[in-house]
Amino acid sequence: MAARETIILDQPAISRALTRIAHEILERNKGTKDVALVGVVRGGDHLARNLQQRIQEIEGVELPLGTVDITMYRDDLASRGSLPVGKTELLFPMENKRIVLVDDVLFTGRTIRAAMDALIDIGRPQSIQLAILVDRGHRELPIRPDYIGRNVPTSVAEKIEVQFSEEHEPIEVRVAKP
């Protein structure tokens, strides 16, 4: 099956988008106080670390960083089977934190729903915000990102993939037409 692939964001474009998101996070939260980054495994965790570095470069502050694995919170066990369960690591207290949930692609919204449930099971943050590298539309739940790298209109059949280097740095975003 020959899929036609198009690069919609290259490395400089991703870098610019993430820098902008870093600034927006600081602006919206009036600095770094009580802000923590939580990446969704897998993909979002790499982007969250990337954002942590950029914010440190801008503000000189290392934000608390965590990961959340949503496998245990999925609503599609029956159709997908048992996926490997990844690690949820939140080594800082959630209470009163402004959590910025980070993921690579926002699609139906179900992953973010599961991630929010997972966070709330573990503690009670003051707020949860959502940062997304690519928003491809087709939401099935009332979920809206606070920070967006790029809006990419897609058809449901298309696949969006964020490529990472071996060092987990984002390289490019591709869209594949079936």
> Does 42 sit behind a cis peptide bond, omega within 30 degrees of 0 on the bond before it?
yes
Residue 173 zone, left/alpha/beta (φ > 0; ψ -120 to 50; rest): beta
Structural contact between residues 156 and 138, judged by C-beta atoms closer than 8 angstroms: yes
Does residue 147 belong to the site contacting another protein (CB under 8 A)?
A: no
**What mask of x and - would describe binding to another protein in positions 33 to 72, judged by CB under 8 A?**
---------x--------------------------x-xx
Using CA atoms, how far apart are residues 101 and 122, in angstroms rounded to an integer?
A: 14
Q: Which is nearer to another protein, 83 or 141 (CB)?
A: 83
Structural contact between residues 170 and 162, judged by C-beta atoms closer than 8 angstroms: yes
- Least distance to another protein from the beta carbon of 15, Å? 25
Which one of 3, 85, 141, 176 is in contact with another protein (CB under 8 A)?
Answer: 85
Residue 31 zone, left/alpha/beta (φ > 0; ψ -120 to 50; rest): left
Does residue 77 belong to the site contacting another protein (CB under 8 A)?
A: yes
Q: What is the size of the binding site for another protein (CB under 8 A)?
A: 25
Does residue 169 belong to the site contacting another protein (CB under 8 A)?
A: no
Does residue 111 belong to the site contacting another protein (CB under 8 A)?
A: yes
Centre a 10 Å sphere on the Cβ of residue 23 and count the other Cβ atoms it contains.
14
Q: Which is nearer to another protein, 28 or 124 (CB)?
A: 124
Using CA atoms, how far apart are residues 39 and 17, in angstroms rounded to an integer?
A: 17
Which one of 84, 156, 166, 167 is in contact with another protein (CB under 8 A)?
Answer: 84
Structural contact between residues 63 and 92, judged by C-beta atoms closer than 8 angstroms: no
- Least distance to another protein from the beta carbon of 31, Å? 29
Pick the stretch among 48-56, 110-118, 132-140, 146-154 that binds another protein (CB under 8 A). Answer: 110-118
List residues near another protein by CB under 8 A: 42, 69, 71-74, 77-88, 107, 111, 117-118, 121-123
